[in-house]
Structure 1
Amino acid sequence: MHEITGLELPPKKVEYLKLLFKKGDLVRTTDISSELNVDPSTTTKTINDLSESGYVDHVPYRGVRLTEKGRVNAEFFVNRHNILSLLLTHYGLSPGEACDEVSRFESFVSKPAIDIICNAMGHPTVGSCGSISHSSCGSHH
């Protein structure tokens, strides 16, 4: 298994993986386009890129699903979002404000930094944007 740095993918591709992770199994490309508010041709190109990189399986006429590599990365991306959002709520932002703010910069925060923040926060399991699992959160004991 490859080591996740948290910086492998540009923000737009991170959003695709997070959406697929939240949706579960096969997701139609038309649903991805409408949820992410992007042109279907852009969705198709991005899915092809993610497929070539081993993050997703595209099943023609059925939909897209995460590979194991995609699932592990997407779980980290979702946890990263939730940990950073929770962090900002500790400093006075409302959950909605924190979620919006984190969406602007989360893709630039590395896994080592998230691991340290997560550890310092006592490995929270509930964030302001959703639950936090710790299979992707390295602990530094």
Structure 2
Amino acid sequence: MNEQNYPEFTGLELSPRKIDYLKFILEKGGTVKTTEISSVLKVDPSTTTKTLNELAGAGYLNHIPYRGVDLTEMGEAYTQFLIRRHRILSLLLTHYGLSSEEACSEVSRFEAFVSRDAINKICSSMGHPMFGVCGEISHENCLHEEKHH
């Protein structure tokens, strides 16, 4: 259940909004009800259902009728990358004078447009930091990728 099993993704596959859905589902753990996602993300239930169906169709989620959704193995690996990307970019911005809160907020506005390759290079140039402003940073995937270049 790790990123290296999915070498084909670039990190640019999803919109910022869909990224929010996956991160929320990972944070909640297990099966998450559609109504809870709508409520927390402040999205109309019909829009939530449509988005969840798109994510399920793309292989990121399992949709369990009348129960909710959970992440597929690929969805979990992808979401782990999304969290790693957020934490690396947030940490990077704190090196340039932004507070932790400012860095986290700024990164949330543009992170969906930063590729996996760029993240791995930034992470490597930073010496593979273990902890960012938003939490622990995983490196298994980043270090694995480096060996193949």
1:48 aligns with 2:53: yes
Q: How many percent of aligned residue pairs carry the same amino acid?
A: 60
1:124 aligns with 2:118: no
Structure 1 residue 135: deviation in Å? 3.1
Structure with the larger helix share: 2
- Code of the residue aligned with 1:48 in structure 2: it is N
Structure 1 residue 112: deviation in Å? 0.4
User: Distance between the aligned counterparts of 1:123 and 1:30, measured in 2?
Assistant: 38
1:71 aligns with 2:76: yes
- Equivalence map 1:53-132=2 (5 Å): 53-132=58-137
Write the deviation string for residues 60-118 of structure 1: whole angstroms up to 9, x where unpaired.
12121000110111000111011100110111111110011001100000000000011
1:32 corresponds to which residue?
37
TM-score, with length taken from structure 2: 0.89
- Where do 4+ consecutive residues of structure 1 move more than 3 Å? none
Structure 2 gaps, min length 5 = none
Structure 1 residue 38: deviation in Å? 1.0
TM-score, with length taken from structure 1: 0.94
Q: CA RMSD in A?
A: 1.3
Structure 1 residue 140: deviation in Å? 2.5
Deviating more after overlay: 61-70 vs 107-116:
61-70
1:140 corresponds to which residue?
146
Between the two proteins, the alignment pairs up a number of residues equal to: 141
